[in-house]
Structure 1
Amino acid sequence: MKQPIGGAMSKKVVVVYSGGMDSFTVLHNAIKSGADVFAISFNYGQKHSKELVVAHKVCQALNVSHKIADISSINSLMAGSSLTSDIDIPEGHYKDDNMKSTVVPNRNMVLLSMAIAYAVSLEASAVHYGAHSGDHHIYPDCRPEFVHAMNAVSQIANYQPVEIVTPYLNNTKGEILASGLAMGLNYIDTWTCYNGREKACGKCGSCVERLEAFAEQDMQDPLAYE
């Protein structure tokens, strides 16, 4: 267990870690803060479950405690999304209306609730997750008003208050990437594509946004694309 300078025991935090760029940066940000980090990922029946394999690999390399919670049995309750149902993954930019099909009903409320429960069981002080401004347009459960409301509920839902921490809530994906690069991170160890194939498709909204972020930094994405 990590100890900061002075020998005092570091605080415990839970990081909701999908295996994507944003949560990868959040994970390392939490580690660098000196916290004792516990990562949690969720198998909710997503087509791009390859992200879970990547997440597990990263946590093993970092010697970070990692749980993958299998909640795929509730997939039928979160139906209607192209990420979880028999619906084609749309191609294009997140600003396009067809991208709304990638919204998974109530996903972040469900995942955060379980992450908060895990934090309480660990006596951890906070749950970190990677909501950012690029998601606000399309995903209601990444908007500041949702985050603030969930944080308020998290303070009173248990005997132990747990803070929801979103370090990049008002940042773009390009700014998150810049933050990670400044930490020396290698984004080959992330998975963003909504298609669960061997290589990233380069055409889904998630890939398009990722490629734009690298272009903003005048860098080439290290991932292999179809």
Structure 2
Amino acid sequence: MSNKAVVVYSGGMDSFTVLHKAIAAGKDVYALSFNYGQRHSKELEVAALVCRDLNIPHKVVDITAMNSLMAGSSLTSDIDIPEGHYEEDSMKSTVVPNRNMVLLSMAIAYAVSLEAPEVYYGAHAGDHHIYPDCRPEFVHAMNAVSKIANYQAVEIVTPFLENSKGEILASGLAMNLDYANTWTCYNGREHACGQCGACNERLEAFAEQGINDPLTYEA
């Protein structure tokens, strides 16, 4: 069986950890990122640098033409990004309609074209409350479809589906990963805002591990 694996890689700390977990497992990794019309491209720039340094193939797929079909989210439309924690209902404005089904479908297609039997994806327990397409029931259903949608079955691998952000960070620190090479903030300014849901969750993860986040924050 082929040792190839496609990794859905946003440039954030979760997918950064998943990328290295696939590499550590001895996979022949092909990183796949998407420009879907998100508010900034900072994560994609970080992802490109990491893949260049690791010397692994990296595709950035421009699907901005689909932006009008994925409107209504504060990440893709002219809507203020909420501040606070993911447990607050206001964070539901950051849900991009059907995003992960769309992205996983394309990642599966890429895997089939490469004859890669696996797609790695960074869904985790911290996202379950707000994001329906990060919940176990979605992942399991999508995985079942992925195994029958093509002549070649593709397994969706989610190493951290039941883990918190802090546990993901702990796993990465055990691999000596440098999280300065990631971007999490929903805002694409020079420094992370420290106020959005993504920043709050990231800062909590570092606090849980008793270490400082290497990124610089505005607040």
TM bucket normalised to smaller: over 0.9
Measure how far apart 1:48 and its partner are: 3.1
Partner of 1:114: 106
Q: CA deviation at 1:191?
A: 0.3
Structure 2 distance, partners of 1:163, 1:97, is 32
Matched, 1:13 2:5: yes
Give the drift of 1:10: 6.0
In structure 2, the residue matched to 1:66 is 58
Is residue 48–residue 193 contact of structure 1 (8 Å, CA) maintained in 2? no
- Check whether the contact 1:26–1:130 (CA below 8 A) recurs between aligned residues: yes
TM-score scaled by length of structure 2? 0.98
**Aligned counterparts of 2:26 and 2:85: Cα–Cα separation in 1:** 37
- Residue 83 of structure 2, aligned match among 81, 91, 113: 91
Q: Post-superposition, which runs of at least 4 consecutive aligned residues in structure 1 deviate over 2 A?
A: none
1:111-190 aligned at under 5 Å gives the runs: 111-190=103-182
Shift of 1:115: 0.2
Amino acid at match of 1:223: L
SS in 1 for 2:6: strand
Alpha carbons 1:93, 1:205 under 8 Å: kept:
yes
Give secondary structure in 1 for the equivalent of 2:147: helix
Equivalent position of 1:224 in the other structure:
216
Shift of 1:198: 1.1
Question: Secondary structure in 2 aligned to 1:42?
Answer: strand
- Deviations 1:20-66, CA, capped at 9 Å, x for gaps: 00000000000010010000000000013210000000000000100
Once residues 211 and 47 of structure 1 are traced to their aligned partners in structure 2, the CA distance between those partners, rounded to angstroms, is: 21
- Asked whether the equivalents of residues 10 and 35 of structure 1 are also in contact (C-alpha less than 8 Å), the reply is no
Gaps of 5+ in 1: 1-8
The SS at the match of 1:156 is coil
From 15, 21, 25, give the equivalent of 1:33: 25
Runs (5+) with no aligned partner, structure 2 = none
Q: Percent identity, please.
A: 79
- Structure 2 CA distance for aligned equivalents of residues 97 and 26 of structure 1: 28
SS in structure 2 at match of 1:13: strand
**In structure 1, distance between residues paired with 2:191 and 2:154:** 38
2:95 is the alignment partner of 1:103: yes
Q: Is the 1:125–1:162 Cα contact (8 Å) retained in structure 2?
A: yes
How far is the alpha carbon of 1:196 from its aligned partner? 1.1
Distance 1:158 1:195 in 2: 38
**Please, what TM-score do these two structures have when normalized by structure 1?**
0.95
